[in-house]
Amino acid sequence: MTIKSNRELISGIFEMVLTGELAKNVKEPGTFLAIKVCQGFSPYLRRPISICKNEDNEITIIYRIQGLGTQIMSEKKSGEKIDVLGPLGHGFNVGLAKNKKALLIGGGIGTPPMYELSRRLQGNAAKVTHILGFRDKSQIFYKDEFIALGKTIITTEDGSEGIMGYVTDALKEAGEFDIAYACGPTPMLKALCQAIPDKELYISIEERMACAIGACYGCVCHTEQGGYKRVCKDGPVFRAGEVIL
């Protein structure tokens, strides 16, 4: 794909817009791309990045600089080509929320896939509320974009903006809902599973990956039945309780 833009949203977090025919293959929100950041041997593995927005021939991704690979990504310029494999994995089922009240919960860098999910739900007669959790005010991004889609509640761990605490502390303010979708760090997902055990909840798991296509079994999760699920191939979206967090 061709890089249309690559800009820093806040310190260390970038938004990259890619153009190409591959964008037409994105069917579900919550799927991801596996990006080869350079043609050399190091870094060798592709970087899995969730799709934030998909429209026409464009895919928007948001990523955090966490190592050499993402540092190289952040330095790429408009007009450059980048090697992309995808879309990969199984995403969120939008149809399950038709004519329902849907609660979307994103934590930190797990927030981006919630944006495309919200856009799709809007077109499927769902009433959407968002809870977005961040460490502090300086880490907040895409706030205005989510507000434009529906009611948006912000939480910060230090109380510098919105509700002080975690996303679970904002559940009462979110009001009644029929179905919930979430993406974020594992402790957040575990806390949500415990907080709303009686609700239909679907979670997108963040996990390190090697091949990203289900061949290496490097990103497996245990299931309640004693087997395994591959996050890259069987997920990253699962029904709450389907895998052990």
Residue 88 binned pLDDT confidence (cut-offs 50, 70, 90): very high
Averaged confidence pLDDT in the chain: 94
Q: Which CATH class is domain 2-88?
A: mainly beta
Say what the pLDDT of residue 40 is: 65
Is the C-alpha dihedral spanning 157, 17, 206, 123 positive or negative? positive
Residue extents of the structural domains in the chain: 2-88, 94-206
113: left (phi over 0), alpha (psi -120 to 50) or beta: alpha
Residue 172 makes CB contacts below 8 A (sequence gap 6+) with none
Q: Which CATH class is domain 94-206?
A: alpha beta
Say what the pLDDT of residue 43 is: 75
List, for residues 166-186, the tens digit of each pLDDT value. Answer: 999 999 999 999 999 999 999
Tokens encoding 44: 């060798």
List, for residues 134-164, the tens digit of each pLDDT value. Answer: 999 999 999 999 999 999 999 999 999 999 9
Over 70: is that where the pLDDT of 54 sits? yes
Same fold, 2-88 and 94-206: no
Percentage of the residues of the chain whose pLDDT score is greater than 70: 99
Q: For tokens 């002080």, what's the residue?
A: 164
Residue 56 binned pLDDT confidence (cut-offs 50, 70, 90): confident
φ and ψ at residue 118, rounded to 5 degrees: -60, -40
Please give the model's pTM, rounded to 2 decimal places: 0.94
φ and ψ at residue 146, rounded to 5 degrees: -70, -40
Over 90: is that where the pLDDT of 109 sits? yes
